[in-house]
Structure 1
Amino acid sequence: MSDDTTPRPALPPLDQFSGSLAQKVYMSFRQAILGLTFRPGEIMQKQEICAELGVSRSPVAEAVARLAAEGLVNVVPQAGTFVARLSVEEIREGAFLREALELAAVEIVASTITEEQLVLLRRNLRIQEALMQDGDNAGFYQMDAKMHELILSFTSYKRLAGMAETAWVHVNRARQLILPAPGRIQATLEEHKAIVAALEARDPEAARAATRHHLRQLITFLEPLAEQHPDLFDTRI
């Protein structure tokens, strides 16, 4: 972990996001927390943040309230606002919920998928492979997330992708600590190909098995993190 003299990376600029000013500030904070620009346990210096983003305290306070409701920050009276530490229990729970949603979704999609939808998935895989070969890890994981979003959207359930993303939020934060694990991107791509192959075969059981294997691989990497990074985890029982 960086020492106290190391400058924090800049927050994502507000012009990357759409919506009201408060929404933009919220998205900038959220992205910074998920990407570990704000480290677990770090205090959020609101005055410095206002100056950096060029905003007043009002949209910052509104964004903090939303993040607190998501469990991403803790507001401690008389002490300040702190980025929530990681929790093994929340990671396991999030992985459990995401797996339940995705297995149910992929089973439906395997029976209903259209050729047009398969074209989108194949195109996504080709982009993933190009990004991997270029060494663009951030781009690869953006397309990874997009592939999962596509499959969930193919169910036609409009709220499903949002529910899955909410369940996965603490897992996403933790996995930044292991990226890129040696060989993990190549293995992830092969797991994605297996999922798409099962969908091409319109085989619900194979699709479930491939998705389950893929999601559980990540958890095997995450389980040891609390011991490796005790300063970032809430170890209270």
Structure 2
Amino acid sequence: MAQVMRITASEEIYQKLRNEILSLRFEPGQELDLQLLCSQLQVSRSPVRDALMKLSGDNLVDIFPQKGTRVSCIDLKQVEEERFLRKSLEESAVRKFVPIAQGKDIALMENAIEMQKKAMEAKDFIQFLEFDDTFHSIIFAGIYMERLWDITKNQGGNHHRIRLLSFAEKDVLGNIIDQHKAMLEAIRQKDLEKVLAIENNHLEKLLKETELMMLRHPNYFKKEMPSAFLIPKN
């Protein structure tokens, strides 16, 4: 008889708070009042503390003993590390996926693009990002390595937030859809090098958008900026 996995109270709270942070409903730098969270979630302090400790391990909250807790500002060094992790894993996944991609995989990717279009029309950035992730997760599922995709998701909180923030910039959503369409056509043609080139451009685009986002939302970012994000002036 299969065992039923039970989610603990602290795990459930962790997931709820993580979603609030990743969706930017809890903004970078925002103070998190422990007592207020307990009241809103209708739980005791212990599972909330446990959840916050786990979020601290994800680099999504900063805990200051005797002072309080706040949502971590976006750390561009960690964004670069998370982007590097995802790029490395996804490039390897693409190399395995393209030669064996099946019709069902392509159909799922087509559906993800259609759902992205609907989310763009509704200006629902959170839904758009969910279907963006769905599109890429199909690559990992197609080679039976879903756990690697889970690693990129679980370790990608800063990268996730900066992606979501970038969606408010002009033409970003449309460009993502165009890139996904181009990737899908290259997958159909079994053109691995073209898929890799489009994928590389797709994942590198944040480097070009970051400077503008920092100007628009300076309080959302930690002050130190790694060299990868120092964009030369023309």
TM-score by length of 2: 0.86
Counterpart residue number, 2:22:
34
1:25-104 counterparts in 2 under 5 A? Answer: 25-104=13-92
Q: Write the distance in 2 (CA, Å) between the matches of 1:217 and 1:79.
A: 38
Runs of 5+ unmatched residues, structure 1: 1-17
> What whole-Å deviation, never above 9, does each CA across 1:88-138 have from its counterpart, x for those lacking one?
211122112211111111121001111121121122222222333344333
Aligned length: 220
Match of 2:93, as an amino acid?
Answer: A
- Runs of 4 or more off by more than 4 Å in structure 1? none
**What is the alpha-carbon distance in structure 1 between the residues aligned to residue 71 and residue 137 of structure 2?**
27
- Cα distance between partner residues in 2 of 1:223 and 1:123: 33
Task: Mark the runs of 5 or more structure 2 residues left unpaired by the alignment.
Answer: 1-5, 226-234
Judged with a 3 Å threshold, the aligned counterparts in structure 2 of structure 1 residues 114 and 236 are, in CA distance, closer, same or farther, namely: closer
**RMSD, aligned α-carbons:** 1.9
Q: In the alignment, is the contact (CA less than 8 A) between 2:166 and 2:172 conserved in 1?
A: no
Contact 2:125 2:164 in 1 (8 A): no
Match of 1:208 among 155, 172, 196: 196
CA drift of 1:167 comes to 4.0
- Superposed, 1:1-237 pairs within 5 Å as 19-236=7-224
Query: In the alignment, residue 86 of structure 2 is paired with which amino acid?
Result: R
Cα distance in structure 2, aligned partners of 1:50 and 1:132 = 35
When the two structures are superposed, what TM-score results if normalisation uses the length of structure 1?
A: 0.85
Change (3 A) 1:167 1:63: closer
State the AA in 1 paired with 2:126.
A
> What's the secondary structure of 1:81's corresponding residue?
strand
Give 1:146 deviation, angstroms. Answer: 0.9
Measured after TM superposition, the shift of residue 227 of structure 1 is 4.3
What is the deviation of 1:224?
3.9
